[in-house]
A = this chain, B = another copy of it.
């Protein structure tokens, strides 16, 4: 059932890298997909390519409501509140998800509006340093992880309603359809993890970029692979870096403090009588080996991580106790298969 199409049309709000790539993938899979974008020039570009896209948000959402579409909020975090308000006004009974890289603030905004019965959060872990409609491409999600949240079920402290279970499955099917591996997680756990593996990398890359540049023309001329790779995500638009890092402030501070402690300790052992970076070099190497094992050591194969070594948990959504499978998968970092 993983590869069967979602039963409903899909309405995408925001046609940047993620939303645009999703629109391309869904059309390629013959799923009815339409979208909205704020920028008239981008709307025109998409229309010129034959996509079903409009700049009229109420109209697009009313159409979603009429067609019982799944709505995907694919805007940056700062625009999410406006999207939620518009959904509540124009498409109040549609299943909706989002692709924001930080999940707790979205979950809080959803709860604040009492919209949690209709919401299943998402985060496709596919990005490039480029952004916007022009960077969108078919196949972006192929082999990438797509996190799907399940806070609502946990919050109730009881088995979720059949209706909400169905909505969860609809969102999961959409992710499967575009080739992603679905990993379930609660928002807070997700945010703690991505602070470490997605947001901290940006802060370190920005710092490395500046320190290298401080070395002037010779340093920039000598920069090779380690600098190029280590600074790649410093090429991300600063506004996007701010949105994700500032939106995940608490978890990022924890990760940043761990990094600062490691670097400060290393500074001390390198400057001190040991004159050594041994502890850091050995621990860093061991950790990277663990990551390689999990990722299947298939670097540079695609835009996402193809992770043949991620464990798999299979279950039937809606069956008695299926929430336990989600918790188990989250703890193991497992991808799921549903039947």
Of the listed stretches A52-60, A121-129, A163-171, name the one at the interface; the rest are far from the partner chain.
A121-129
Closest to A233 in B: B226
Instruction: Please state if B333 and A218 are interface contacts (CB–CB under 8 Å).
Output: yes
A162 CB within 8 Å of chain B = no
Task: Note all chain B residues with C-beta closer than 8 A to A147.
Answer: 222
Instruction: Please state if A203 and B280 are interface contacts (CB–CB under 8 Å).
Output: yes
Closest to A217 in B: B333
Closest to A284 in B: B206
A210 CB within 8 Å of chain B = yes
Instruction: Please state if B284 and A270 are interface contacts (CB–CB under 8 Å).
Output: no
A64 CB within 8 Å of chain B = no
A134 CB within 8 Å of chain B = no
A183 CB within 8 Å of chain B = yes
Task: Note all chain B residues with C-beta closer than 8 A to A267.
Answer: 253, 256-257, 260
Give chain A's interface secondary structure class. helix
Task: Note all chain B residues with C-beta closer than 8 A to A232.
Answer: 225-226, 229-230, 299
- The answer to whether residues A214 and B258 also contact, given A197-B223, A241-B277 and a CB cut-off of 8 A, is yes
Instruction: Please state if A263 and B262 are interface contacts (CB–CB under 8 Å).
Output: no
A88 CB within 8 Å of chain B = no
A334 CB within 8 Å of chain B = yes
Instruction: Please state if B289 and A212 are interface contacts (CB–CB under 8 Å).
Output: no
A275 CB within 8 Å of chain B = yes
A288 CB within 8 Å of chain B = yes
Instruction: Please state if A235 and B285 are interface contacts (CB–CB under 8 Å).
Output: yes
Instruction: Please state if A291 and B333 are interface contacts (CB–CB under 8 Å).
Output: no
A226 to chain B, nearest CB (A): 4
Q: How far does the alpha carbon of A264 sit from the alpha carbon of B256 in the complex, in Å?
A: 9
Task: Note all chain B residues with C-beta closer than 8 A to A157.
Answer: none
Instruction: Please state if B291 and A223 are interface contacts (CB–CB under 8 Å).
Output: yes
A314 CB within 8 Å of chain B = no
Instruction: Please state if A218 and B183 are interface contacts (CB–CB under 8 Å).
Output: yes
Task: Note all chain B residues with C-beta closer than 8 A to A270.
Answer: 245-246, 249, 252-253, 256
Neighbour of A197 across the interface among B219, B277, B295, B334, CB < 8 A: B219
Task: Note all chain B residues with C-beta closer than 8 A to A333.
Answer: 216-222
Instruction: Please state if A145 and B224 are interface contacts (CB–CB under 8 Å).
Output: yes
Task: Note all chain B residues with C-beta closer than 8 A to A290.
Answer: 213, 220
Q: Mark A267-296, 1 if CB is under 8 A from B, else 0.
A: 100110001111011111111111110110
Given A196-B219, A198-B226, A205-B226, 18 more contacts at CB 8 Å? A185-B218, A197-B226, A198-B227, A205-B230, A206-B277, A207-B262, A210-B283, A210-B287, A211-B259, A212-B291, A217-B294, A217-B332, A220-B333, A226-B233, A245-B270, A246-B275, A256-B270, A260-B267
18 contacts between A and B (CB under 8 A): A183-B218, A192-B219, A197-B212, A197-B215, A205-B230, A206-B277, A207-B284, A209-B285, A214-B258, A217-B331, A217-B332, A221-B333, A223-B305, A228-B291, A229-B233, A238-B285, A242-B277, A256-B270
Closest 4 pairs between A and B when the two form their complex, measured CB to CB: A206-B284, A221-B333, A213-B287, A217-B333
